[in-house]
Amino acid sequence: MTFRAPARDLAFALKTIGHSDLLARAYPDLDEDTVQAVLEAAAAFANNELAPLNRKGDTEGARYENGRVTAAPGFAEAYQRFVEQGWNSLSADPEHGGQGLSKALELAVFEMVHAANMAFGLCPMLTQGAIEALALHGTERQKRLVLPKLVSGEWTGTMNLTEPQAGSDLAALTTRAEPDGQGGYRLTGQKIYITWGDHDAAENICHLVLARTPDAPAGVKGISLFLTTKKMVKDDGTLGSLNDLRAGSIEHKLGIHGSPTCVMLFEGAQAELVGSLGQGLPHMFVMMNAARLQVGVQGVAIAERAFQQALKYATERKQGRTTWEADGAIYGHPDVRRTLLLMKAKIEAARGICLATGVLADLARLAETPDDRTAAKARQELLTPIAKAWSTDIGVEVASQGVQIHGGMGFMEETGAAQHYRDARIAPIYEGTNAIQAIDLIGRKVRLNGGATMRALCEDMAATAHNLADDPDLARVGERLTAGVAALERATDWLVAADNAAALTAATPYLKLAGEVVGGWILGRQALAASGSSDPWMQSKGALARLYAGQILTQASGQADAVVEADHDLERTAAAALAG
């Protein structure tokens, strides 16, 4: 099918979450027209260069031969054009060759990249995280020789955490980093699930690797972060011989076949320490948190791609006697139309959450006062696990609904609907499963400060609900958002007071509730921004907010009940129930 990158939706979303205000202060030359031009150029690249390769990447995939990986057909050439057009360097510091634009704008561009070709987008996505990690913790040599090449896209980056025995529990990793006597280290060990760990699309690959030195203590305090490269980097920046590392194989996956997911073997590879010994996890979390937000954007992107295909199919497929005039197409069936509109509403809600988190990342650097920067950072950290987990769950849900709208044809690979569902399914798993995101949300972001950051967000959402209530067309949205905020506040109060076991049991229901309420807030703000317009496209924003409020926010009170009652009988009866 023909894909249309949603540049107009993205521009409107950026505007309604305050991106224009941020740009006016931080980037005086980057006005709304320029933002629109950037988005339209990125949309053209996504539509014309990346989308046509998506199906071929799925059916043919990357290839592994003789210890080396070849990218899926057309991917290497598309990557070179991606780099040449400057898409890799949007938000990087100009000191390192970047364009210095906003993180939120970069996220908007990457949504279109991921929607057009999720497997392709994973390569530059991981590079962005490596850029952020080295910019903050890299040595002067790394910043001088490696960082500019990552920013330009001439080299790509990877994140090497997982081992066969050490998934989410990184304390169990065993990869060794032994001093080489010359200030460097030699890495020995095996890492698995390494996205774009090897390929032929760039001249060098920079691996950020978690490992232990010989005298390191057990547990996470013994983990350090190291940089090693596919080809050795000389002191003058030129490339030398191949390093002692290789791809042992590529994984055979449910989806994202165009993305080579590698087993990486480090066989005495020369490496450099990044940051301080024993601080590997905190240093790597810079990269991981960047990736988590990008993965949330992937969830939005794959949902958008699945929605567009489902909508096109619904307007063409003729079946049964419809209620509304639609030339006999299934789009005229009420449940099909309701499903499509709810898919669209959830996409826009998730998109807004991800972009709002990006704006907060910008404000955490650029706000005028220290207090404003601190507050922005706290809210960014609060929203990051919600953006990652809720948005990727929406990606799977919408892709599944896309298959459903296709009916039996959706279950056939020929239509392409199944690919979106298969591709979407990884996003709730990697960069920390969504259950881990929920635990992070309740532990580090809500309970740690007694719920203060969440309550401040609830105050802002309640203010929006009040404004909605004053608009006759949106009053019911305001009422339901008010009720949703009250439910979230009740759940937050319970969570802060609960013991640790009860809180952990409630973590996933709590994140779901938070995502749904914040999503309603996002749609309410969009509806207010569009209120009074005679443009049918703008008027649709109010319709989506009303549908979401009626179908989703009305469930908030029950979701809060699910939070406070999550631990009832769990410990006492689970063993017997699960044993059957």
The catalytic residues are 431
Question: Phi and psi (nearest 5°) for 275?
Answer: 75, -140
Residue bearing tokens 């960069």:
431
The structure tokens listed for 579 are 């044993």
- Cα separation, 343 vs 348, whole angstroms: 9
Report in angstroms the alpha-carbon separations of 434 from 128, 290, 295, 449, 494. 22, 16, 11, 22, 21
Backbone phi, psi, residue 325, to 5°: -65, 120
Residue 329, both tokens: 């197409």
- Give the integer Cα–Cα distance in Å for 83 and 85: 5
Q: Residue 267 corresponds to which amino acid?
A: E
CA atoms within 13 A on the CB side of 93: 13
Using CA atoms, how far apart are residues 231 and 244, in angstroms rounded to an integer? 9
Instruction: Give the whole-angstrom CA distance, residue 41 versus residue 330.
Output: 34
- Greatest CA separation found in the chain? 79
List the helix and strand counts (H, then E) for the chain.
Answer: 21, 11
What does DSSP say about strands 204-212 and 155-160: parallel, antiparallel, or unpaired?
parallel
Structural contact between residues 57 and 116, judged by C-beta atoms closer than 8 angstroms: no
Contact indicator for 402, 340 with CB cutoff of 8 Å: no
Rounded to whole angstroms, the Cα distance separating 191 from 569 reads 39
